[in-house]
Amino acid sequence: MKFALQRRALSALSTVAISAAALIGTAPAGFANPYIPEQTQDSAEFTVTNGYIAKQMDCTPDMPPVFDSVTWNPPGFLPWGGSGMIHDANPDLGGPFTATWNGSYWDVQYEFC
């Protein structure tokens, strides 16, 4: 009697394990931090910030950038782009930029260095 109960419990656990494996195996693959450019202010500022850090490091290798914020010139951010100012913790760094949506990514021009 004891073995029959153990056999049923083992059978139930096996069924659950196989079902869970099947569900996990057919789930779509997840990617770590997938970044897909979109025509949004967050996406534009992400692109401006990343490009700024790379550009500023090339321009002033002895003064690493410490990004602070982005401000947009009037009328502000628009879905097709805009211009603004990059602010750095170091007031000697940062500067003006222009961001334009080209249909699939943000094209950013840094007007310094």
Contact 110, 52 (CB under 8 A): yes
Extended beta strands in the chain, E state = 67-72, 81-88, 94-101, 106-110
The pLDDT score that the predictor gives to residue 11 is 53
pTM of structure = 0.67
Residue 113 binned pLDDT confidence (cut-offs 50, 70, 90) = confident
Q: What is the pLDDT of residues 61-82, one digit of tens each?
A: 999 999 999 999 999 999 999 9
Map out the domains of the chain as residue ranges: 41-110
The two structure tokens encoding residue 106? 């943000």
